[in-house]
Structure 1
Amino acid sequence: MNQYQIFYDLHYQPQPLLLANAWNVKSAQIIEKAGFSAIATSSGAIADSLGYKDGEQIPFDELLYIVKRIKASTGIPLTVDLERGYTNDLDVLHSHIQQMIDIGVAGINLEDNQGEDIFLEKLKSITNYLRETNQKLFINARTDVFAQKIDHPTETVINRAKLYKDAGADGLFVIGLKDTETVRKIVSAVELPVNVVGISALSSVDELADCGVKRISMAGILYGAGYGKIDELVHSIKQENSLSHLY
């Protein structure tokens, strides 16, 4: 079974697919060694680790290099946060998708924060390209409705979910959710497997599983927590004039 199929099937198991988000080879290897079934990248974490702001400020070639090294150094399925595709040119977008497939990537996230119409144009173009070239890639359609504070967010997400499914999306990623009641409403009305971020208010895997969530990711939270610990450590070393905290 190829890694795309393995990754696809992980969205239909009894328990949610729990994904830790990597930003370099070492973090990805730690995630794999810990026993996770797959690895996700965080665009924000990768960008920040290289001195860029999030939001496609990192050049695509630099992102591609990091993804290539992660994939070459791990053995489980990898899904990549591709933001908005790093282009509005559909031919260039196809090239970006092909380069991800050539590396061995099993899936991507694609964001709709440019608006529903532009997103659907990109999504349909990608799915047509995959169909024409007889290739597979799990497309997790990320909707920013709640984050952008769009009116009637729950209803808008549900409506977009149907459009995105019809256009070829394999999953729905809803960011900005803060309570299980809203999560449950969306999951019950959407046919696609739903992905949420495990923020502090939604940190229980069992509660999210009970809501019907099929995928739980960490976005840049793991990255922030890890470097928060390093920040505390180096400050303790400096303040106490001792390396004892390293041991």
Structure 2
Amino acid sequence: MTDRFAAFRALHHGDRPLLLPNAWDHASAAALAARGHPAIGTTSLGVAAAAGLPDGEAATRAETLHLARRLRGLPALLTVDVEAGFSDEPAEVAALAAELAGLGVVGINIEDGRPDGSLAPPALTAAAVAAVKDTTPEIFVNARTDAWWLGVADPLGQALERARLYRAAGADGIFAPGVSDSDTIGVLVAGLDAPLNVLHRPGGPTVAELGRLGVARISTGSLLFRAALGAALATADALRAADPAPGAAYPEPPSYVEVQRLSAPPGAG
């Protein structure tokens, strides 16, 4: 077992949940790594929106690979959101995972939601998971079910059934975005033989509360990207309104020098 894969897997079995911030470009990932986060994920929405492409429609395969190449030198473990694998062919999904692993990526998310708002047949997602693990055993497959995200009937039953099938196919963890009430999270934790990943939702359970429920990993998803975009808009609006003290309305941004330093080659300086 490689040290990096073992280290990433161990982060899902610690005394507290792994708080996984999600980046969308080199600057955001480098800044998060500089703040001491041991692992960083990517957000498919942020990657897609930054490139002017739609999220969840298999349009960003090239951009996802390009970003992984950009981030390979950062001092943090990297897991990448590959939507549904950018293909319905398990062998093509496995080839993508192998290419990402060759760039130093230690994990991927594979989702079962489809662009038309339906869930993919569970056997199709399970086949992709199995193909990835057969080809690249030492990549952490976080199998995501969008049962809550898409508002299907009986999301808990759907999620448990799908999660157990994905786990049997070799998934290392299960991701259930959209679930936020403590009772349901507790049922999922108890019903799964795998680390549970949930999405942080403002107003939902805190990191500490999720930890007490047994959640292993908490992702920020697109939250940081949307917060950054919101801060940019708030700044522009304040300036346009001739706000005499715009700094009072939002946090002080990183300096030019700090941001420039994030792009320095590893070991520089």
Please say if residues 59 and 86 of structure 2, whose CA atoms lie closer than 8 Å, have aligned partners that are also in contact. no
Using structure 2 for the length normalisation, give the TM-score: 0.85
> Which of the numbers 226, 229, 233 marks the counterpart of 1:231?
233
Instruction: Report the secondary structure of 1:144's partner residue.
Output: coil
By how many angstroms is 1:155 displaced? 2.2
Please say if residues 140 and 169 of structure 1, whose CA atoms lie closer than 8 Å, have aligned partners that are also in contact. yes
Identity rate, percent? 30
Structure 1 equivalent of residue 219 of structure 2: 217
By how many angstroms is 1:219 displaced? 0.3
How far apart in 2 are the matches of 1:207 and 1:82?
A: 29
* Amino acid aligned to 1:76: A
- 5+ residue gaps, structure 1: none
Deviates more, 1:171-180 or 1:50-59: 50-59
How far apart in 2 are the matches of 1:198 and 1:159?
A: 23
In the superposition, relative to structure 1, how do residues 241 and 225 fare at CA in structure 2: closer, same or farther (>3 Å)?
Answer: closer
1:22-41 counterparts in 2 under 5 A? 22-41=23-42
How far apart in 2 are the matches of 1:241 and 1:149?
A: 42
* Amino acid aligned to 1:59: T
1:35-114 counterparts in 2 under 5 A? 35-72=36-73, 74-113=74-113, 114=120
Higher helix share: 1
How far apart in 1 are the matches of 2:216 and 2:169?
A: 20
Instruction: Report the secondary structure of 1:240's partner residue.
Output: coil
| Superposition RMSD in Å | 1.9
Deviates more, 1:234-243 or 1:217-226: 234-243
In the superposition, relative to structure 1, how do residues 78 and 177 fare at CA in structure 2: closer, same or farther (>3 Å)?
Answer: same
Using structure 1 for the length normalisation, give the TM-score: 0.92
Deviations 1:105-131 (A, max 9, x none): 00000001223121112112222222x
How far apart in 2 are the matches of 1:32 and 1:100?
A: 19
Structure 1 segments of 4+ aligned residues over 3 angstroms from their partners: 56-59, 241-247
Structure 1 equivalent of residue 127 of structure 2: 121
* Amino acid aligned to 2:135: Y
Structure 2 equivalent of residue 200 of structure 1: 202
In the superposition, relative to structure 1, how do residues 241 and 173 fare at CA in structure 2: closer, same or farther (>3 Å)?
Answer: closer
Structure 1 equivalent of residue 259 of structure 2: none
Structure 1 equivalent of residue 156 of structure 2: 154
Q: Provide the aligned length of Structure 1 versus Structure 2.
A: 242
- 5+ residue gaps, structure 2: 114-119, 254-269
* Amino acid aligned to 1:70: L
How far apart in 1 are the matches of 2:39 and 2:240?
A: 38
